[in-house]
Structures are given as structure tokens and as C-alpha cells.
Amino acid sequence: MNRKIYISLAILCVLVLSLQAACFARTPDKLPNVKILATGGTIAGSGATNTTTVGYTAAVTPVDALINNVPELKKIANVSGEQISQIASENMTNEVWLKLAKQVNTLLSQDDVDGIVITHGTDTLEETAYFLNLVVKSEKPVVVVGSMRPPTAMSADGMLNLYRATILAGSREAAGKGVLVMLNDTIHAGRDVTKTITDRVDTFRAPEIGPLGFFTGDKPVFYRAPLRKHTVFTEFDISQLTDLPRVDIVYHYANNTGDVIKALTQAGVKGIVHAGTGNGSIGKVEYPAVEAAQEKGVVIVRSARVGNGIVARNGEANDDKYNFVAGDNLNPQKARILLMLALTKTSNPEDIQRMFWEY
């Protein structure tokens, strides 16, 4: 009798365990649906030999080949690809950004899309990530990924980066954290990250602020979340836009003349991000050109060429008197993106200053 009970219990246990295993196994139906939108870059590049890590051609491998190069993707997500552009990212344009952002918003509004991975060249990856961070209207994960070595190189980093970016885009942990950047096992906020080294795989950093998290094996581990407004919490709507207001960056240095500001004003820019010395200083010689630009309605944001730290309002310049906008801790290329989007709403420097404190 006891033996019978024992056998029945054993059978019951096996049944329960099998049922549990079946429930938690990742069947293709249960896998997250992740769209991979490809824009080009080194991650889609090709070199002459397997030691070619400089002087290769970026942006030649189509998205389907990128996906097929990593068969493991199919075990972690239902992936499908779309080619948005095929460019080296130094050639990124407003047109591609708007096309990409609109497609991201369309896809994320669908119930059958859980997350998006964007493959991108590393040169302007941080700009695209910040742009999307401000205009994507969804809390679902969006992960921008690239690589420093082409797929043809020894120790190419793109395949693992793509694999992990796909895990991240299909994860619950990544939701609601704004647009993320994933390279070299490290997860960064799109707002904070920047490329810091010309040629090494550990190039992406968020100076002073640090990453949001890391990968340990196949698991993303977060330690913090961004506090600045992003995605569904922003006031920017690109759905009807076909272009963005023109904003350029002026770099300040010893013996400057102000001629670049004059030329840009003549060219009809709507905004100038001034990458000033130190805490965003504008040289005396530049002031006449700056004021002439403002008379034409050009909005001036004081940023810093230093790359770290906050540009203090009314610090190195009298922002109240001159109607400047202090650029907070955004680097000049990110300040340019926020200024372009701000100018789609207003050209009032006070309102734009509020946006720089919020985003």
C-alpha cells in the first residue's frame, strides 16, 4: 500500500515538474517580438582581411544578413528586420532620423511588437539615441547598438552586441527607461552616453554619470534609471514633421574671430550651439556676431567644449541680459538636438531654458 502511494506521489511530482517546465520554456510563441531596424555603420561593415579594424567599408551588409549571422537570435526573440538606411553614421541626416522615429512609433503602437533594436554606426549613435529618446512615444524598449569592429574582423564585437541588444529589447527591465544604448556588455541611457575613444570597443561612456547597468551572461542587470524626462513624457511630436529647424555648432578657441557665427547667420540658421571654452565662455570678439545673430531671431545655447560638467546659468556669461540658454551638461552635439526639437515648439529663450533643465 505504502509502495503504491509512494509511486503515485512520484508520478504526480514528475507531472507537476514537467508542467512547470513547459510553462516556463521559451517556445517561439512566448518569445518577445523584436524588430531590428538597420541604418548601416561598422556593425554592417566589411574589411579586406580579418585583421582589418581600420580602413574597412561601413554599411554594406543588409539587415537580413546581419540577423542570419547570429542564428542564436531566434532562440531569444521572434526577430524580423527592416532596412531604414545603409549609411556610415557620419552621413546621418534629419530625413533619416524622422523616417526612423516615425517607423519606431508606428511599430511600437502595434500589440505584436515588444521592442526595437536599431543597428547604427558608432560615430553619431549617441545623437540618434538622444533624438529618439525625446521623440519616441512608447515605454517599450528601444535599444541602439553598433560595433567598433566590422563583422569580418577577428574578435568582431557586433554579433554579441546585437545578440545582447535583442535580449534587452525583449526584456521587461528595459521598459520605461528611455532609449538605451548597448555595446560592450554595458547599458547606457541615450541622453548621457557619448563616444569617447576613436578606435576601441570600450568607447561608449557616460562621463561622470556612469552606465545604467551591465550584462552578466545573457542577463541585463540595472542599477539605476534616468531621471530626465524622455519618450512618453516629452512635449515633442515629430509625426507631422518633414524637416527640423537648422541648428549648427560653433566651436570656440583662442584667437577666434566670430566669422563662423556671421556666416551661419547669413546662411539662415535658427539656432546656434556655442561650444565654449571652460564653463561655456563666449569670447569678447564673438559678442557682436552673437548679438547680430540674435537680432535675426537666432537662439544661442551656451554649451562647453570640455565635454563634462554643467554650464552654469549666469556663470561665465550674463544669460539673463543676453537671452542665452545655458546648456546644462549636454555635450554640444546633444544640445543641438534638443535645440532643434525645442525650436519646433518655440523660439522663446526662457521656454527653451526650461526644456534644457527638464530633458
Query: Considering only CA atoms, which of 162, 133, 166 is closest in space to residue 33?
Result: 166
Q: How many residues bind ligand SIN (CB under 6 A)?
A: 12
Query: Considering only CA atoms, which of 289, 240, 239, 288 is closest in space to residue 269?
Result: 289
Category of 358 on φ-ψ map: left (φ > 0), alpha (ψ -120 to 50) or beta: alpha
Segment (H or E) for 10: helix 2-24
Residue 82 contacts residue 35 (beta carbons within 8 Å): yes
42 a catalytic residue: yes
CB of 86 to ligand SIN, least distance (A): 10
Closest to ligand SIN by CB, 121 or 178: 121
Q: Which residues contact 49 (CB under 8 A, 6 or more apart)?
A: 152
| Distance separating alpha carbons of residues 280 and 327, to the nearest angstrom | 8
Among the residue ranges 26-34, 118-126, 223-231, 315-323, the one whose residues contact ligand SIN (CB under 6 A): 118-126
Residue 180 contacts residue 190 (beta carbons within 8 Å): yes
Give residue number: closest CB to ligand SIN.
121
Out of 56, 84, 118, 123, point to the residue binding ligand SIN (CB under 6 A). Answer: 123
Out of 148, 189, 298, 340, point to the residue binding ligand SIN (CB under 6 A). Answer: 148
Q: How far is CA 247 from CA 28, 40, 125, 267, 285, in A?
A: 46, 24, 18, 11, 21
CB of 210 to ligand SIN, least distance (A): 22
Out of 41, 170, 211, 271, point to the residue binding ligand SIN (CB under 6 A). Answer: 41
Among the residue ranges 35-43, 96-104, 309-317, 319-327, the one whose residues contact ligand SIN (CB under 6 A): 35-43
Cell 519616441, residue?
Answer: 136
Closest to ligand SIN by CB, 58 or 300: 58
Phi, psi of 217, deg, nearest 5 = 60, -130
Binding of ligand SIN by 146 (CB under 6 A): yes
Q: Which residues contact 293 (CB under 8 A, 6 or more apart)?
A: 261, 262, 264, 265, 269, 272, 300
Binding of ligand SIN by 121 (CB under 6 A): yes
| Distance separating alpha carbons of residues 275 and 339, to the nearest angstrom | 13
Segment (H or E) for 275: strand 271-276
CB of 341 to ligand SIN, least distance (A): 22
Closest to ligand SIN by CB, 158 or 178: 158
Out of 34, 35, 37, 42, point to the residue binding ligand SIN (CB under 6 A). Answer: 42
Q: Which of 39, 42, 124, 166 is catalytic?
A: 42
CB of 208 to ligand SIN, least distance (A): 24
User: 69-108 mask for ligand SIN (x: CB under 6 A)?
Assistant: -------------------xxx------------------
Closest to ligand SIN by CB, 62 or 315: 62
Out of 53, 78, 122, 303, point to the residue binding ligand SIN (CB under 6 A). Answer: 122
Kindly list the catalytic residues: 42
